[in-house]
Amino acid sequence: MRTRSYTGEEGAIIQLVAERMTALGFDEVKKDAMGNVLGRVGRGGSSLLFDSHVGTVQVNDAAMWQYDPFGGEIVNDVLYGRGSVDMKSSVAANVYAAAWAKQQGLVGDKTIYVSCTVMEEDCDGENLKHLFREFSLRPDAVVICEPSNNRIALGHKGKVQVSNKTQGISAHGAAPEKGVNAIYEMAEIIQRVDRLNARLLTQANPAAR
């Protein structure tokens, strides 16, 4: 929390993480061309990757914070600071857990990767994809350490970006029935998306039915 890491300005914290990984005895620490850092413990046949992003949104209301947003203060067992939940705590947990597993001889015939990625707030997933491609990395399983109320959530993480255009036909205001309003056509698409979203939410949470 004490190292400011706004999206697009993560260089300092990436360097800090890389140095800490090295100090803790990671077998390999490297950065890709985008500025992500990847640490490795072990060299076994099966592999598991833990991913967290290090960037945060900006602080534009520091005067309204009860504690310094970059103070990293612990008050009554609660950690305060920008990124304390989303998701610098996960960064620290992943780095130290992997180092501890190695120290305790728990890695065995496995490989543990810890990735810390940048620019998540602006292009979620793109930099992790770049890291996989640059290092030819294909882990057997991935844990995305976004906050989830301490509950493991199983699922496929992805997104779709779609651009829709609707076209109409111009008509005189005295005879609107001769034209086609493109706004109405787009409204129909928006309603379909809303119905799809509701159906997917119901499928993901049957108790909401």
pLDDT digits (tens, 9 = 90+) for 4-23: 999 899 999 999 999 999 99
Span 88-113, pLDDT tens digits: 999 999 999 999 999 999 999 999 99
- Identify the domain boundary among 100, 115, 144: 144
Residue 137 sits in the same domain as residue 203: no
Residue 165 sits in the same domain as residue 137: no
Residue 105 sits in the same domain as residue 133: yes
Its domain, for residue 113, covers 11-144
Segment 174-193 mean pLDDT? 93
Helices (H) and strands (E) in the chain, counts: 4, 7
Tokens at residue 132, please?
Answer: 């996989």
Residue 126 sits in the same domain as residue 34: yes
Residue 91 sits in the same domain as residue 51: yes
Q: Supply the angle between the helices 88-103 and 11-23 in degrees, to the nearest 10.
A: 20
- Closest-CA residue to 20 (of 117, 91, 120, 105): 91
Residue 140 sits in the same domain as residue 103: yes
Q: Burial, 131: exposed, middle or buried (Cβ in 10 Å; 0-12, 13-18, 19+)?
A: buried
Residue 18 sits in the same domain as residue 114: yes
Tell me which DSSP letter residue 108 carries.
T
Residue 132 sits in the same domain as residue 169: no
Tokens at residue 117, please?
Answer: 């990625």
Question: Is residue 52, in this structure, part of any structural domain at all?
Answer: yes
Residue 140 sits in the same domain as residue 164: no
| Coil, helix or strand at residue 165 | coil
CATH assignment at residue 100: 3.40.630.10
Residue 177 sits in the same domain as residue 75: no
Positions of E strands within the chain: 28-31, 37-41, 46-53, 73-75, 78-80, 110-117, 141-144
Task: Give the DSSP H/E element, type plus range, for residue 96.
Answer: helix 88-103
Query: What is the structure's pLDDT at 158?
Result: 64
Q: How confident is the model at residue 38 (pLDDT cuts 50, 70, 90)?
A: very high
Find how far residue 24's CA is from the centre of its chain: 24
Residue 102 sits in the same domain as residue 182: no
Taking the CA atoms of residue 182, residue 185, residue 187 and residue 190 in that order, the dihedral angle to the nearest 10 degrees is -120
Domain total of the chain: 2
Residue 103 sits in the same domain as residue 200: no
Residues paired with 50 in a beta bridge: 114, 143
- What would you report as the CA-atom Rg of the chain, rounded to the nearest whole angstrom? 23
Q: Is the pTM of this model over 0.85?
A: no
